[in-house]
């Protein structure tokens, strides 16, 4: 069903608001309540994370947000990315493996592609296995993914030599399904481990 102009404008406004909130969270230095409890920058106020059913690296349908996990870390990128993507995923991998077994079982790391033309399930599976075999990698049609990118305020900008400019924030989602913390791709693994432990407790 084709969206009405009003509905399309509303969706765009929500995505724009989230993008602005993310920029504020990443760069602003406000004194948020309970800041000392987390290493990441709180999103103020927390935003309800958008869910979607996508295709994982095994070829099966899977939700982007799984309520069975108390802490979910979501990162958008692509397998041919030369810098931010491998940096962020390597750090997420170190943080994930540093968690105690109980917290690890309640923590989920999700990688969503911004390059569905090249990032097939098989390609994604080989890629994320380099960082941790427990990571979930998701793809789908470009039309389906575009709705997810928009919902998370991720702008896609094709560049020369098959490079893709994209938002590089790491999103932390709590047990209630809200985006509560934001991190840059060069975040310390110890900071992610600290926050994952707190969210998963």
Burial 10-31 (b: 16+ CB within 10 A, else e): eeeebbeebbebbeebbeeeee
pLDDT of residue 166: 82
Query: What's the confidence (pLDDT) of residue 194?
Result: 97
Sort strands 71-77 and 107-113 into parallel, antiparallel or unpaired. Answer: parallel
Per-residue model confidence (pLDDT) at position 165:
81
CA distances from 94 to 16, 85, 108, 188, 189 (A): 32, 14, 13, 10, 6
Long-range contacts of 14-18 (CB under 8 A, 24+ apart): 14/151, 15/150, 15/151, 15/152, 15/153, 16/153, 18/47, 18/151, 18/152, 18/153
Q: What pTM does this model have?
A: 0.82
Q: Residue-wise pLDDT tens for the chain (201 aa)?
A: 444 443 343 344 444 445 544 544 444 433 444 444 899 999 989 999 999 999 999 999 999 999 999 999 999 999 999 989 999 999 999 999 999 999 999 999 999 999 999 999 999 999 999 999 999 999 999 999 999 999 998 988 877 777 888 888 999 999 999 999 999 999 999 999 999 999 998
Given this structure, which CATH class describes domain 5-200? alpha beta
């Amino acid at each position: 069903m084709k969206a009405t102009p009003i509905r399309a404008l509303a969706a765009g406004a929500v995505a724009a608001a989230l993008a602005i909130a993310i920029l504020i969270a990443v760069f602003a230095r406000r004194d948020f309540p309970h800041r000392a409890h987390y290493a990441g920058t709180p999103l103020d106020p927390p935003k309800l994370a958008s869910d979607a059913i996508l295709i994982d690296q095994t070829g099966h349908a899977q939700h982007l947000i799984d309520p069975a996990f108390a802490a979910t870390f979501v990162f958008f990128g692509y397998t041919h990315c030369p810098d931010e993507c491998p940096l962020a995923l390597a750090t997420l991998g170190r943080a994930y493996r540093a968690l105690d077994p109980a917290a690890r079982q309640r923590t989920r790391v999700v990688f969503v592609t911004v390059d569905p033309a090249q990032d097939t399930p098989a390609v994604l599976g080989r890629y994320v296995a380099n960082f941790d075999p427990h990571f979930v990698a998701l793809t789908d049609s470009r039309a389906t993914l575009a709705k997810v990118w928009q919902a998370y305020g991720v702008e896609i900008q094709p560049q020369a030599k098959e490079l893709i400019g994209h938002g590089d924030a790491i999103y932390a989602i709590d047990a209630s399904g809200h985006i509560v913390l934001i991190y840059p791709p060069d975040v310390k693994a110890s900071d992610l481990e600290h926050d994952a432990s707190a969210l998963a407790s």
